[in-house]
Structure 1
């Protein structure tokens, strides 16, 4: 080799490079650490985490994806585990902690196989085979659920909320969840479409969690623009306006020089006349309630109040879209185009005091395609945690109605999966069999964690569960409150 040849750097000189087994171990260690962080939050007896951000804001929760998002993780492999949680949250809305714990355990078992000199490609293939078999087993063991099976749907919602600060109100919140889902669900042939974005969750500090309510319509976190306007409007005709009810400013910095007081008054009169014409157009349409996405001039507010019209301004675009779905009204961008056919309807529009602030209820909407769950509670922490719990419940119930299938909890499903996958592994030859068996072993981390978090002996619990499942009791799960095996369905 020519000693005069200079080394060529394709990366910055201070770059650290890790490869081979060292890279594998580092990546697995980072992912396992993330999984261990949230593992103690799993189940009804899981613990909450207190997170303090750089601004001193405190979050207390046991919601997996919330914890991981607040942690600001930098390690690239650990970030991939966080992405698992986010994907689970986006697809279903719940099960983030379970997904992360399973991923961490699968990597732990893979590390054991690597120590036995099993090639990563073989491990990957075995895991893929086991995953496909797991899907097959899940489909065969799942119970059928219909939209009329309210009791089962409520139980699913209760399970999603268990251990998340809603213990004393689970029945009420589960009932609200199921009713909300059914209100927005649409049948298209044999398929049920549930768009969870049609369910607005609004939260306000004040009252108790028991005061949480479902509104067949929309709750807008705004107040009427003038106290002179009516507070309640029954059988309203609602205009949804996406343009400002005020005089437009010019885009150029033009200046008008007025030397005569009469001209000044004429200028003001012209502005007043323009605003009056805008209000006349609203009145001519028959509207007596308006929601404006932009501003409403003070003088226009005065004219609207004199005509007994209820008005709210700077309403969020998302709220305008929900109002359109709930009331049947059309969002109009130009007042000149507003007609009676564009107006929405509801039973009542009312401004209500919630805590120290006012909110507008648009309720009793006939065939509302958008509903609102208004969560109340004594503190901001309480309403935040209840909101997270209800989002999980909504995701689970919506997912159930999309495919009309559900499985039991309490670790029963994972034990049954492990049993089925082990049986499948016996039919394989080659080293892939070891990876499939490792996959089956990893499934048991869920009931093991449930037992550990409840202060129970995990070995004893797993032994009892396996014994019941060997007797073909497929929904045998662990009751973490009694420590006994129960029917998880």
Structure 2
């Protein structure tokens, strides 16, 4: 009988946890749904905030990417939602919660198909076909603003910024901050629109409406030595010298090795060190610099030297601030003082050091090559200012994308309902399982307006019935109807109400959510291979998996 027994074949390490089949897909869908339920209540203008405590730090936010990142999700399938939220935030800056909810809803709609035995690849194929049709229709519904006048286009950008701020902490002051955001983006090079050239500086204290925009660069006063108080704090049309050079006496000692044979020679070494630092300082002064900024430290000797000659200096300037000063003033960062001349200097209309709250700030205003701007953000609590900064970042990203794309659609769930109506109509023209899957995709799109209505305290069933009726008319007027959180009826023409969003945000959200749903549906097995404690101890540093000498077999 032994010749008929099959030998045991062990492919995986003993203790390895494996899950596979239909139950694995359903388990992944349930995990994704649990994560989406956490951020669901944050969607829309009346969305709620989440307080997340990580050690001593407390974060209050309703930004989907921020919340998911702080949750530290460990489930491998649910981590996909975190990744798509981050990609949405990096790409367009807004719509992270919508993307997360849409992906979870697509999986929720696919769950009955999986449980009934339909192969996941058929669902994936149907979803991708629905996405292709949705993107095609989205482009057809988009409104091109490229041919609008400069003033009309600016008004559109203001409306898009206000729509982005509607669901944020700054919703009550959206008109004030939308003006700051659009003005800041307008300072950038229109061909590049580099986000890093818009600085946001947080200053605790005062009202949020005390925030202001600096047409140029502003940064907090850096660490300074004695003698700084004697330096002038205001210049008109100054010559600005930008350095990546340390102006400290100790640097000469640390960068050289000198051997002496007689004690008398030590004094000559000290004199040489002083001569070197004074030579550098003298070259800077003779070149005509009035403001000296350096990424590296400027010591007490140099600080007093510049103060005696009415020159302002600041050392340890942050890299991003120095880069923005370079862009705004037209200066060039030098790594040596040799060859220093006025052509390498930058300039600005006005430099001054002012008191902002409890901090001192250096302001460079009216720069000739102003391709940068700084928003000085005020507020009471630190958590409030941090959330306000995240809100402004979303609005800035939206305005940048609108600058480039020049296409907008109506928000408030209007475009999702219109695409949903189109997909339902298309589903009637096909047969088989594809009809049900495309219908499910159309139904999943309704999660956006439904959730907006629920979070605003409205009757979501009544609102959805009204919106379906409006969109079913199929005319130009009913196309843009979405959720109205302020009106008595609960629905309105969101295009006429100036609730606008860039088309790029919706396109990226649809693509990311569908790709995430298809990726999770295609996973039918999860293998968890625990690391052995013995193997972990045996691994020497720098050589993972290789036993140390003396322990090899």
Alignment TM class, shorter chain as reference: over 0.9
1:189-204, aligned counterparts within 5 Å?
Answer: 193-204=192-203
Residue of structure 2 aligned with 1:485, choices 491, 494, 506: 491
Give the corresponding residue for 2:549: none
Deviation at 1:273, TM superposition (A): 2.4
Contact 1:211 1:376 in 2 (8 A): yes
Please say which of residues 274-283 and 140-149 is displaced more in the overlay: 140-149
Determine whether 1:428 maps to 2:451: no
Please give the alpha-carbon distance, in whole angstroms, between the structure 2 residues aligned to 1:60 and 1:382. Answer: 8
Deviation at 1:258, TM superposition (A): 7.4
Deviation at 1:254, TM superposition (A): 6.3
Give the corresponding residue for 2:414: 412
Structure 1 residues 465 and 280: alpha-carbon distance in aligned structure 2, compared to 1, 3 A threshold: same
Contact 1:281 1:338 in 2 (8 A): yes
* Residues 383-416 of structure 1, C-alpha deviations (whole Å, 9 max, x = no match): 1111111111011111111110011111111111
1:191-340, aligned counterparts within 5 Å?
Answer: 193-223=192-222, 225=224, 226-246=228-248, 247-250=251-254, 259=263, 266-340=268-342
Deviation at 1:252, TM superposition (A): 7.1
Please give the alpha-carbon distance, in whole angstroms, between the structure 2 residues aligned to 1:257 and 1:370. Answer: 56
Please say which of residues 4-13 and 321-330 is displaced more in the overlay: 4-13
Give the corresponding residue for 2:179: 175
Please give the alpha-carbon distance, in whole angstroms, between the structure 1 residues aligned to 2:437 and 2:231. Answer: 70
Deviation at 1:120, TM superposition (A): 0.9
Give the corresponding residue for 1:39: 40
1:362-401, aligned counterparts within 5 Å?
Answer: 362-401=364-403
Structure 1 residues 276 and 110: alpha-carbon distance in aligned structure 2, compared to 1, 3 A threshold: same
Give the corresponding residue for 2:468: 466
Contact 1:236 1:345 in 2 (8 A): yes
Deviation at 1:366, TM superposition (A): 2.0
Deviation at 1:328, TM superposition (A): 0.8
Query: Gaps (5+ residues) in structure 2?
Result: 496-553
Please give the alpha-carbon distance, in whole angstroms, between the structure 1 residues aligned to 2:201 and 2:261. Answer: 49
Please say which of residues 351-360 and 2-11 is displaced more in the overlay: 2-11
Deviation at 1:41, TM superposition (A): 0.4
What secondary structure, in the 3-state scheme, does the structure 2 residue paired with 1:184 have?
A: coil
Give the corresponding residue for 1:190: none
Structure 1 residues 259 and 400: alpha-carbon distance in aligned structure 2, compared to 1, 3 A threshold: same
* Residues 51-100 of structure 1, C-alpha deviations (whole Å, 9 max, x = no match): 011x2211111111110111011111111110010000010011100000
Please say which of residues 264-273 and 198-207 is displaced more in the overlay: 264-273
Structure 1 residues 308 and 435: alpha-carbon distance in aligned structure 2, compared to 1, 3 A threshold: same
Deviation at 1:432, TM superposition (A): 1.7
Please give the alpha-carbon distance, in whole angstroms, between the structure 1 residues aligned to 2:453 and 2:234. Answer: 53
1:85-164, aligned counterparts within 5 Å?
Answer: 85-146=85-146, 148=151, 149-164=153-168
Please give the alpha-carbon distance, in whole angstroms, between the structure 1 residues aligned to 2:260 and 2:481. Answer: 82
Contact 2:200 2:377 in 1 (8 A): yes
Please say which of residues 439-448 and 263-272 is displaced more in the overlay: 263-272
TM-score under structure 2 normalisation? 0.83
Structure 1 residues 301 and 433: alpha-carbon distance in aligned structure 2, compared to 1, 3 A threshold: same
Please give the alpha-carbon distance, in whole angstroms, between the structure 2 residues aligned to 1:290 and 1:65. Answer: 40
TM-score under structure 1 normalisation? 0.94
Ranked by relative contact order (alpha carbons within 8 Å, sequence separation 6 or more), the top structure is 2
Deviation at 1:428, TM superposition (A): 2.3
Query: Gaps (5+ residues) in structure 1?
Result: 188-192
Contact 1:272 1:299 in 2 (8 A): no
What secondary structure, in the 3-state scheme, does the structure 2 residue paired with 1:349 have?
A: strand
What secondary structure, in the 3-state scheme, does the structure 2 residue paired with 1:118 have?
A: coil
Contact 2:241 2:289 in 1 (8 A): yes
Report the aligned-residue RMSD. 1.9
Please give the alpha-carbon distance, in whole angstroms, between the structure 2 residues aligned to 1:236 and 1:2. Answer: 95
Structure 1 residues 251 and 4: alpha-carbon distance in aligned structure 2, compared to 1, 3 A threshold: farther
